[in-house]
A and B are shown apart, each in its own frame.
Chain A
Amino acid sequence: MFLTEGAQGLGLFAFAPLIILFPFLGLLINLTIGRKLGEKGVSFIAISAIILAFVIAVLQLLALLGQPIPLGATVPIAEWITVGDLSISWSMQIDTLSVAMMLMVTSVSALIHIYASGYMHEDVRHQGDPSRFTRFFVYFNLFVAMMMILVTADNYLMMFVGWEGVGLCSYLLIGFWFEKGKDGIGNAIAGKKAFIVNRIGDFGILIAMFLIFWVVGSLRFEDVFHWAHAFGEENVLIISVITMFMLLGVAGKSAQLPLFVWLPDAMAGPTPVSALIHAATMVTAGVYLIVRSSPLYSVTEVTSNIVAIVGTATAFFAATIAVGQSDIKRVLAYSTISQLGFMVAAAGLGAYVAAMFHLITHAFFKALLFLSAGSVIQGIEQGHHDAEHEGAEIEEPFDPQDMRNMGGLRSRMKLTFWVYLIGALALSGFPPLAGFFSKDEILADARIENTGLFLVLLAAAFLTTFYMGRQVLMVFFGKPKTEPAAHAKENPPSMTIPLLILGLLSVIAGALNAPGLHTLTDWLDDTLEHVHVTEFSISVAGIAVIFSTVAVVLAWMIYGRKPMKKGEPDPLRKILGPIYTGMENNWWVDELYQFLFVGPYVKLSQYLADVVDWRFWHDWFHDTVLAKTYRSLSYWLAWTFDLRFIDGIANGLADVTKGAATRLSVLQTGYVRNYALAILAGGLLILSYFIFR
């Protein structure tokens, strides 16, 4: 059962399966005895599991560094599906790309787990069900395990297990407070939406896998890429089709146009979920998939161009929406979509390393921003509680996530403010923070490859700085707009220490692929082919920084100079008019989809169920056509035909039929029994014919 023969001589690589196993063990322990452990014990188990996974990731890094050329290893675990020509194992591919993902995911996960142990302690009490603390960490551990399956798989099918597995965790965690949200069901519906939209994407992945299998004969990365290497040129068309279907999956998971609609709603999940799953890790899986499949993508110019266009369009489109949001987390959600667009665009342009670089830096600063936002929300909730205690008047319902209820938090939550600022600056791409280097690499690539896309990306970068400026000014500057904001409190160390570490990472992560050093480029070069070094471009960096500075100034002029007062409309509404309304309303994409797809689907299924299936097939065809016709026929047989002709010939048989007919015709269901008897009689007749012929 277990493929052990390959495991010898793997050295440290042999430990790789533990990176999946530890989180699983963590969740199993908490699932079975979590109730007895208490909150401390549960979070200890969950956090330890992830830290151990991180240790394994580091071991894998060391193992790679120990190789003369870090080519990595394949670590087989067990046989999985072997049918006909299809042969797929549970098997891990440890190489520079997967180790980069392992390190990023486990480190960010560990920090967010620690943060969540503090956050969820408060959250479960605010929401009124402390017993769900354990469940949260069970899901959280499961998520990490699934994410590890996703990034370590050595074939598409195993990757797909992780791919849908993280989607399941996303579903469960978005709907974690399943009785909350709009009408008490809003959160559950948001989770379902995420799952279904992702399934639409997964349809694409499935078709891509079918094509790959029937063309290549294998789903292993190694075989597929080898094939692409050897026969890619003459199979450009089929590879284009494969990669296009795959792109559908990418659009689902990484929230790209046209499937991005689930991610903003996913903010219904607790904030650590938004940080870990819907910003730092899961949503980047699509980018990872493209990068992993780069041997396929780099063959086909058609798809690569489409990928670049989809990414760029998403980057810009989502950035415009972010400008018009007033919910602190929704701004960040659209920002995530936009940044994922940058990564996808980079991958489409062939700048796979730039995409990975931005994926990693973004994981740090976006996790930081989300967690800080969580800190803000919880600070305000605390303030809400305290203000109520002091008898202050608060408008109900009070939304602790609405930035229009905030303001002036700079002085009340100093640490949160500073780390938030670092995150915002990193995201905006100010030197020397992490986002500066990674975004510059993408922009520099775009400028070389495609000027049109470069300009759109630049505009998106401009909007990024603008909406972050707007957010920071609305949340932290000016005067508190409500009592809860005025009473806001800083959070305990379990929450703030992870913020500090992530803040530090957001500052220094740019060094990963600093200009001139190309550490990450060299590192990934051993796994990815066609890696090209993008030289740091002073001019591009200069332009980007100038744009960002202008955006900050603009944001200050609009939101900083004269802070909005409570109840005052957004100043941008006056300036932009209907455009602002569009931004505020997500450009009515949800409404459009409702009109085009959801509504018609619901109507069509109801029509099929009520009219076609029930009234036509069930009532009319069966009950009327079949049954009634038969009933009339049997009456005719019994009373006319039967009496006159058969009676004398086959007495016994006819008597049964007739007797039954007379007796049962009074009953409502009589006709069918009669029918049964007639069939039986007919069967006997036929049988006797064969026997006695």
Chain B
Amino acid sequence: MGYQLIEEITVGAGGAASIEFTGIPQDGVDLVLKLAMRTNRAANTDSVKIQINNNTGSIYTHLRLQGNGSSVLTGSYTGTESYVIVNGNNDTANTFGNADFLISNYTSSNDKSATSDAVNENNATLAYQDLKAHLFADTNPVSSVQLAPSGGTLFLQYSTASLYMITAD
């Protein structure tokens, strides 16, 4: 089994409103997106919206287990994009939220299942940990992934998005 870095993107000065990976190689088994991100949302925490194949339909569902430093929350979601938690601009300065997003069997002709785990870095009681089990009702192979801030409008400088491929050999 191989774990191969396809590409890593670092946001430059001025920020970026979105990041899109296109032309994803189709010779892997699973796809892994690793994020270290901070947005310009004036709050503690923000989320990264994730879509695949430019699919803007209401095909994204997930089950959520989340902690915030004081309590545990659970929930479910169905909508037009999926989410992972990252840092907002009120979180501790110069820190970034980290998220791993795994899409299993991304080249298959079945609906896509995925898992994510994410943490919001903040030197305070309020800091989120977030586990999700996702399902995308899209039977096309994943050839592109779209990322955008949810509450903010920009990914801030030094945010990174790395795309990995897990191969059979």
Do these two chains really belong together in a complex?
no
Q: Which residues of B contact A (CB under 8 A)?
A: none
